[in-house]
Amino acid sequence: MPHEGPWGPDNLLQENDKGIVTAYRVPKPEWWIVKQVYSPIHIGIEPLSRAGDNFSVPITNRYSFTDLGELSCRWTIYAGSTMLKSGSKQIACAPSESIQASFPAPRGATKLRLEFVKSDGTSVVAVNIPVTGAPVPQAPAALPGDALTVQDTAGTLQVANKLQTVTFDKELGTIQSWRVKGKSMVLGGPILNLGEAKASGEKKAYRAPNPPFTTGPN
């Protein structure tokens, strides 16, 4: 019987560390980038400059047979996180052609969001376009907490705050000790073991010895 699930015939987890989705088909950030690259509608995302009372946005129709007028373009204008105006319009643009589309430009606008939607409600592409001169969001305030202290000696590197202390062995590259609230979590660093190769029908399959790693007493 064919094997199902994320585990291979050797009972090894088949992790997906490549591609644009995970093994469970959850989109990674790269998925959105690829979607934009291959989108049949290309929208210019250069910061917008106000031309009178409007913003002008370059749009290219990459469809082979579909006019953009067959889709709805939903637009929303924001000032920070506050919505100023929104609406929907049809933008006529023949296949393989480009057009400069106009949208309202109210005072205080910081961002224009455009989304092209099919008649069945399917989203084709959506972009957020910043407005020239809009204030750049400030970094969030640092979380409250104790600053870390570092002690670097000839053989060890110790990083600590009021909660915990971790000491690394600089020669071996292991955790020498790890104490949390005065309690030892690890005594003697874990030993890295990459396993041993074995004959298998799967490419790059490995069998790790039992146990795969060792640690000292807790």
Which residue in 32, 73, 35, 36 sits closest to 55, CA to CA?
Answer: 73
Max Cα distance, the chain (Å): 73
Check residue 72 and give its pLDDT: 97
Residues in the chain: 218
pLDDT of the residue at 133: 86
Whether the CA torsion 191, 197, 198, 200 is positive or negative: it is positive
pLDDT at 98: 97
What does the pLDDT look like over 138-163, one tens digit per residue?
Answer: 777 766 667 788 999 999 999 998 88
State the pLDDT at residue 193: 59
Element (H, E) at 30: helix 29-37
Are 3 and 9 in contact, with CB atoms under 8 Å apart? yes
pLDDT along the chain (218 residues), means of 10: 49 65 84 90 92 93 96 96 95 96 94 96 94 81 75 91 88 85 71 55 51 49
Nearest by Cα to 97 from 67, 127, 56 = 67
Structure tokens at 51: 């031309």
Taking the C-alpha atoms of residue 183 and residue 179, their distance in angstroms, rounded to an integer, is 5
Partners of 96 in the beta sheet?
none
